[in-house]
Chain A
Amino acid sequence: MPQTKSETVPVRSTSEVVMVRHMVRRWAVEIGFSIVEQTKIVTAASELARNMVDYGGGGVVVLEALDDGIRRGLRLTFEDKGPGIADVEQALRDGYTSGGGMGLGLGGARRLSNEFEIRSKPGEGTRVMIARWKGAS
C-alpha cells in the first residue's frame, strides 16, 4: 500500500494519549475524512493508546496516510512491549476488563474501524493495527 506520510510517536502517559488524539484528528482532517469518520478513528485511537498506557506499560503509535490511487485512508499501529494478552478472544469480548474499565475498548475500536488486526504474545507485547478509508461506512 503506497503510503504518503508516516510518523511514529511515543505514548507513555495520559497526556500523550491526548496528544495522539490531536494528531490523529489533524491527519484525518488532512485526508479529508468527514466529521463522523474523524470522530470514529480518533475515538478508536484513544481506546488503543490508552490500553497501551494502562496495560502495556506504554508504547508507540505509527501513523500512516495511505493512498492507493483510488482510495485515501489512515492506518494506525499501536505497539507495546508489555505483558501481552494471554487470551485475545476474551480480551475482545464486550464487557471483559482486567482493570475496572468498561471492557469495550478493543471491541469498540474494531467496530469503529474498516480494518482491525491484533497480535499479542504473552511476555512479548501487543500490536494492534486499525485502518479507515475515506468514504467507507
Chain B
Amino acid sequence: MAESRNDALLQVLRDNEQEILRGWLQLQERDLSLRNNLLRSGELEQQSRDFLAALRGALSAGDTDILTSEAWAPVRELMTSIARSRARQGFTPTETATFVFSLKQPLFTALRAHASGDDLAEQIWSSTLLLDSLGLLVTETYQKGREEVIARQQQELLELSTPVVQLWAGVLALPLIGTLDSARTQVVMESLLQAIVDTGSAIAIIDITGVPVVDTLVAQHLLKTVAAARLMGADCIISGIRPQIAQTIVHLGVEINDVITKATLADAFSIALQRLGLAVVRRTAKAV
C-alpha cells in the first residue's frame, strides 16, 4: 500500500522535476535571503538538483525504509553532507531544516494536479511522512555536526591553554586558567613535566589564580604533578591559592603541607630566585 502511494510521488517527480525544482529553489532563496553570503551561488541549486535525483532513485527502488535501507543510502548521504556543511558554515537549525521542509509546497502543488479526493489526501499524507523523517534526519545530522565543531574548538582550546613559560633560567611557570577537567589537566601537567626535562629547570611554579574550583580530583592531579616533578629533580611551588580555595581544601581534608604554597605568582617567583641564589636589587644612581 505504502509503495503504491510513493509510486504516485515518483510519477509526479518524474513528470514535473524542473517545475518542482524551480518552485523549491524560489522558496529556499526567499527563506535564506539574508544568508546569501553563506552559500556559494549555484551551490544551492546543485544540492537541490542532486537531492531530487537521489529522491527519484530511492523512490523507484520501491523501498520505504528511509533510515536503514540500501536504496535510500544515497539520499541519506546527501542529506548528511548538506547538514554537516551547513552546521560548519554557521546556519541555524531552522535554516538547515528548511532545505527539506520547503520542498513540501511545490511537491504538493504538483501532486494536486495529478490526483484529487481521497487519493490526493493519501498521497499528501505519505509524502508528508517521508519529508518529515528526512527533516528529522537533517536536524539530527546538523546537531552532530555542531557537536563536532564544538569538540574541535575544545580540543584547540585545550592545546592553546597550556602555556608553560620560562620566567628565568631554571624557573618555569604554568599559569592555569579555567576548568580543570581530567583531559585538560592531563595535557597541562604533561606539558609541564616535558618542559622541566627540556629546560633542565630546578623550579616550577604552578599558578592556580584562574582556577575556580579545586576539588579532590584537581588536588590529586596537582599533587601527582608535584611528586613527578620532584622525581625529575624540580621543586614545585603552587601559587594563587585564594582564601576561599584554601578553606575548601582544608574542609576536603587534602594535605598540602609538604608542598610550598604562596599567595601570588610574584611571591613564588621571589622564593624561586632566592633558592637559585639570585636577588633582584634596585639600581642606585651611584651604581650606574
Taking Cβ atoms with an 8 Å cutoff, the residues of A that contact B are 14-15, 17-18, 21, 25, 35-36, 38-40, 42-43, 46-47, 50, 94, 101-102, 104-105, 107-108, 111-112
Contact = CB atoms under 8 A, between A and B. Distances in A.
A101 B216 contact: yes
Interface stretch (B110-118, B200-208, B229-237, B239-247): B239-247
Contact of A104 (B179, B213, B245, B254): B254
A105 B248 CA distance: 12
Contacts, number: 65
A95 B217 CA distance: 13
B223 to A, nearest CB: 8
Contacts of A15: 181
Contacts of A102: 216, 219-220, 254
B216 A105 contact: yes
Nearest to B183: A14
Contacts of B182: 14
A112 B248 contact: yes
A50 B253 contact: no
Interface residues of B, number: 21
A35 B244 CA distance: 7
Dominant SS among interface residues on chain B: helix
B252 A46 contact: no
B253 A18 contact: no
Nearest to A22: B179
Interface centre among A36, A46, A102 (most CB of B within 10 A): A102
A131 to B, nearest CB: 16
Interface string B247-280: 1100111100000000000000000000000000
Contacts of A105: 215-216
Interface of B: 179, 181-183, 212-217, 219-220, 243-245, 247-248, 251-254
Given A46-B213, A50-B215, 9 more contacts: A18-B179, A35-B244, A36-B244, A39-B213, A39-B247, A40-B244, A42-B212, A111-B252, A112-B251
A43 B213 contact: yes
Contacts of A25: 212
Contacts of B245: 39
B251 A47 contact: no
A82 B97 CA distance: 38
B252 A39 contact: no
Nearest to A25: B212
Interface centre among B214, B220, B248 (most CB of A within 10 A): B248
A108 B181 contact: no
Given A17-B181, A46-B215, A102-B220, A94 B251 contact: no
Interface centre among B181, B215, B248 (most CB of A within 10 A): B215
Contacts of A18: 179, 181
A104 B217 contact: no
A42 B252 CA distance: 12
B244 A39 contact: yes
Given A36-B247, A108-B252, A42 B213 contact: yes
18 contacts: A14-B182, A35-B244, A36-B244, A36-B247, A43-B215, A46-B217, A47-B215, A50-B215, A50-B217, A94-B253, A101-B216, A101-B220, A102-B216, A104-B253, A108-B253, A111-B252, A111-B253, A112-B252
Contacts of A107: 253
B216 to A, nearest CB: 4
Contact of A111 (B213, B244, B251): B251
Contacts of A17: 181
A37 B2 CA distance: 63
